Chain A
Amino acid sequence: MRDFSPFDVVLLLQAARWTVLLSTIAFVGGGLLGAVMTWMRISRSSALRHFARGYILLLQGTPLLMQIFLAYFGLALAGFDISAVVAAGIAFTAYASAFLAEIWRGSIEAIPRPQWEGSVSLGMTRFEQMRYVIVPQALRLALPPTVGFLVQIVKNTSLAAIIGFTDLARAGQLINNVTLMPFPVFGTVAAIYFVLCFPLSLASRALERRLHAGRQRPARV
C-alpha cells in the first residue's frame, strides 16, 4: 500500500491521452461515417435506405461492450491481426456513426417540407437543397444533441478497458487498488473527465450563438 501522490496524477493524465485519442477517433470516424449513413438513410434509393436502417438498428440495439468485444476478438478470429487501439477505434466509429446518423436524420426531417418545395422550385438539385437550405437549418437543431452524444462518447471510452486498454477510468481503478483511497483517486479521475468534456459544452454554446447570429429567436420548426 502507498499513498495517492502527485505521481499518480501524472499516471492518470497519461492514461487520459488514450481517452482523448479514442474519443477523437470516434468523433472523426463516427462523424464521417455518420454523415454517409445519414445520406443513405434519407436517400431516394430504397435499397440504400434499408441498408442504413438495418445498420443503425443493429448498432443501436446491441451493447457497446459487445461491439468492442466483437471488434477485438471477432476480427482476430476472422484472421485480422489488429491492436486494441484499432479494434476499439473501429467499434467506436461504428457505434458513434449509428447514433449520429439518427440524430442528424431527425434534424433534417424536422425541417418543414415547404423548405424543400421552395428550394426545388428555384431549380435546385437535391444536393444543392441540402447544402444551401436544409443542412444550414438542420445544424442548429442537431448541435445540442450531437454535442451531448459526443460527451457521452468521451465517458463511454472507459468501456474499452475490457480489451486491455488502459484509459483514464481503468488507470484510476488500478491506482485505487494499490492506494485504497477511492475519494482522491476517483475524484481526480472525475475531474479530468470534466476538464475533457466541459470545453465541448462551451464550444457548443459558442457555436450555437454564432449560428443564431443576427436572429432574434431560434428557427421556427
Chain B
Amino acid sequence: MPVVSVQHASKSYGPLRVLDDVSFDVYRGQVVVLIGRSGSGKSTMLRCLNGLEGIDAGTVTIDGVAVHAKGTDLRRLRQEVGIVFQHYNLFPHLTVEQNVMLGLTVVKRMKRADAQAVAATTLSQVGLADKRAAFPEQLSGGQQQRVAIARSLAMQPKVMLFDEVTSALDPELKDEVLNVVEALAASGMTMVLVTHEMAFARHVADSVIFMHAGRIHETGPPARIFGEPSTPELRQFITPRTN
C-alpha cells in the first residue's frame, strides 16, 4: 500500500483550474519530486497532502486515511505528515530547542525531559546542536531552515513534505539545507519535494513529476525526465537559458 495516494485530485479558484485530475502514489522510502513553472500547481498539490488546502474532487490518502473526508482527525494525520515551508515558519518567540519541542509536548503530550532529548537528537542530526538556546532571528536562513526540518522530523512523521525549502536562501546557504534533505532521503524517509533545484532533483529523486497548468504533464524516473523529455513544455522547462 502506498504511503501517499492521490487519485484524480482537482481544485479550482473560481475559473482558474489549479489542479486538474492529478493522480500519483508515493511508496515507503520513495522520494518524489514535483517540478514545474510557478503557478503550475505543484505547491498547491503539496499543501493538499496535509490538508492545508482542500480539494474539489478526487481523494488524497495518507497511510490509508482520506485527508479531505468529513470526520478525518487532521490533528492525528498531521503528526504523520511533516511539512517544511519556503519561509521556515519558525516561531520567533521561542528558542531553537523550544521550537522543536513544542509539537512534542503540546501535541504528542510528551514529558519535557523526553521532548528535550528528542530535540537534542534531531538538532544534532541537522548539525545545530550548539544552537539550541538561540532564537531563530539570530540564525542564518540556512540554519533556520534546518531547525524547521528538525522541528518536523522530531514528530517522527511517516512522510515529509518540502515546499521549495531553498527558494528563499542565498546560493551559498542552499547546500547546507540540501545536504540535510539528501541525508534524510538516504535514511529511508518517504518524501515529496517541490523544488526548483534541478540538479538536486535529478540526484535525489526516485520519481519526478512535471506539472503544467494543473496537470501531471510528464512523469518518470529522473534519468528519463531530465535525459529524454518527451514533451516540448518539459524540454523547454529543463533547458538552461542561454543568454
Q: Which residues of A contact B (CB under 8 A)?
A: 114-115, 117-125, 128, 132-133, 136-137, 140, 214-217, 219-220
Is B215 engaged at the interface, CB distance under 8 Å to the other chain?
no
A113 to B52, CA, bound (A): 12
Contact A123 B79 (CB under 8 A): yes
Contact of B138 among A125, A132, A136, A216 (CB under 8 A): A216
Given contacts A117-B89, A136-B93, A215-B137, contact A124 B83 (CB under 8 A): no
Contact A118 B89 (CB under 8 A): yes
The contact sample of 19 A-B pairs, CB cut-off 8 A, is A114-B87, A115-B91, A117-B89, A118-B85, A119-B102, A120-B52, A121-B82, A122-B78, A122-B79, A122-B106, A123-B75, A123-B76, A123-B79, A124-B107, A125-B75, A128-B106, A133-B91, A214-B135, A217-B137
Q: Which residues of B contact A115 (CB under 8 A)?
A: 89, 91
Q: Which residues of A contact B87 (CB under 8 A)?
A: 114
A148 to B172, CA, bound (A): 46
Q: Which residues of B contact A136 (CB under 8 A)?
A: 93
Q: Which residues of B contact A120 (CB under 8 A)?
A: 52, 78
Q: How many residues of B contact A (CB 8 A)?
A: 29
A96 to B183, CA, bound (A): 55
A48 to B86, CA, bound (A): 34
Given contacts A123-B107, A128-B107, A137-B93, contact A220 B155 (CB under 8 A): no
Is B50 engaged at the interface, CB distance under 8 Å to the other chain?
yes
Is B92 engaged at the interface, CB distance under 8 Å to the other chain?
yes
Q: Which residues of A contact B95 (CB under 8 A)?
A: 214
Is B90 engaged at the interface, CB distance under 8 Å to the other chain?
yes
Q: Which residues of B contact A (CB under 8 A)?
A: 50, 52, 74-79, 81-83, 85, 87, 89-93, 95, 102-103, 106-107, 135, 137-138, 151-152, 155
Contact A124 B103 (CB under 8 A): yes
Q: Which residues of B contact A125 (CB under 8 A)?
A: 75
Q: Which residues of B contact A114 (CB under 8 A)?
A: 85, 87, 89
Q: Which residues of B contact A132 (CB under 8 A)?
A: 102, 106
The distance from the CB of A132 to the nearest CB of chain B, in whole angstroms, is 6
Would you list the 5 A-B pairs with minimal beta carbon distance, nearest first?
A118-B89, A122-B103, A123-B78, A114-B89, A123-B107
Given contacts A128-B106, A132-B102, A132-B106, contact A121 B91 (CB under 8 A): no
Given contacts A124-B106, A125-B75, contact A220 B137 (CB under 8 A): yes
A121 to B95, CA, bound (A): 19
Contact B91 A215 (CB under 8 A): no
